[in-house]
Amino acid sequence: MNRRLLVFCTTVLLAGLLTACGGKASTPSSTASPSQVETTPASPSATASASPSASPQASPSEETEPSATPEPTEVAKTYRMNKNYFIVPIDKEKTDNKVVLLTFDDGPKDHITLDPILDTLDKHNAKAIFFVNGYRVKANPDLLKVIDERNQVIGNHSWDHISLKKENEAKIKDQIESVQTIVKEVTGKTPVFFRPPFGAGNDAVRKITKDNGMLFMTWSNGSLDWDMNKTAEDKRPQAVIDNVMEQLHPGSNILMHELPWTAKTLDNLLTQLEEKGYSFVDPNAIDTEL
């Protein structure tokens, strides 16, 4: 019996050793190498924070829609021009008469002179009429666009800057209407103010001006900035101011030009006008039909 028991125990022990050895042998094969490890996709809930759809969304009421460009507001017609070319209130009791109209002839010429004038007008919140010649617009359409884009007013000063009263009606018509056409082509707007070169007009000029829906005007206050040949260059800016101030009255229709000394002195001139209590009438407020 002891022998049999010994044999049995030996058999059980060997079996256990074989089993133990087999288990150890299989252990390495059950361990995957790094290259064999599969990455388990993260669950939807684990990736929700990284998903674009998980980003906070503004509610319809919180979304800001781009604002539409406001339509231009039409300026009320509160002024008219009298027979002496002064700008006067339509209703004297309700409208200030201590105003001046700023105008610039013979452009557009060059950024060097035009830009400072426009900058000064902006500084003083002032608008002016720029009476342009057709041949200059043809040469400098970009400058005409700048005048329009800076919210200034464009007037008609004929195509060639000639004395229209010496011309026949057909020539006058061409000189005036060709400017209407080119300004409309460049800016999309048609002038409603006309000033004849040299202030020289006649019945035919006035009729064609009216037929084209424009107000005929010359001026009531000449800065004489165009007549400085006998004035030293360094004295021209002050001479412009002196000339304007000597003729200054409520409603003055001031004639200036796109010239270097005018551009240089304009800020000083407008400052002095304001100090005297004057403001600058918006040409859009002038009734061209009265």
Domains of the chain with CATH codes: 94-285 (3.20.20.370)
Q: 63 vs 185, which has greater pLDDT?
A: 185
The band of 9, judged by pLDDT with boundaries at 50, 70 and 90, is: very low
The band of 74, judged by pLDDT with boundaries at 50, 70 and 90, is: confident
**pLDDT value at residue 72:** 56
Tokens found for residue 282? 């918006």
166 by DSSP, 3-state: which? helix
| Distance, CA of 242 to chain centre | 33
Q: Is 257 a catalytic residue?
A: yes
Give per-residue pLDDT as tens, 96-122.
999 999 999 999 999 999 999 999 999
Catalytic residue among 105, 106, 225, 282: 105
Per-residue pLDDT, averaged over 132-143, amounts to 98
Per-residue pLDDT, averaged over 77-86, amounts to 98
- What proportions of the chain, in percent to the nearest 5, are helix, strand and coil? 45, 15, 40
Q: 70 vs 157, which has greater pLDDT?
A: 157
Round to whole Å and give the CA distance between 250 and 238: 21
Q: What is the pairing mode between strands 99-107 and 279-280?
A: parallel
Q: To the nearest whole number, what is the mean pLDDT of the chain?
A: 83
CA dist 5 to 10, 14, 83, 100, Å?
A: 8, 14, 146, 135
199-208 as b/e: b if 16+ CB within 10 A: eebeebbeeb
Q: Is 157 a catalytic residue?
A: no
The number of CA neighbours under 13 Å toward the Cβ of 26 is 6
How many percent of the chain have pLDDT more than 90? 74
The band of 75, judged by pLDDT with boundaries at 50, 70 and 90, is: very high
Task: Name the DSSP class of 198.
Answer: G
Q: What is the torsional sign of CA 288, 217, 95, 271?
A: positive
**pLDDT value at residue 230:** 96
The answer on pLDDT for 33 being more than 90 is no
Whether the bond between 108 and the residue before it is cis, its omega within 30 degrees of 0, is: yes
Catalytic residue among 106, 157, 225, 257: 257
The answer on pLDDT for 162 being more than 80 is yes
Provide the whole-model pTM: 0.76
**pLDDT value at residue 56:** 39
The band of 27, judged by pLDDT with boundaries at 50, 70 and 90, is: very low
How many percent of the chain have pLDDT more than 70? 75
Q: 290 vs 182, which has greater pLDDT?
A: 182
**pLDDT value at residue 21:** 41
Round to whole Å and give the CA distance between 86 and 81: 6
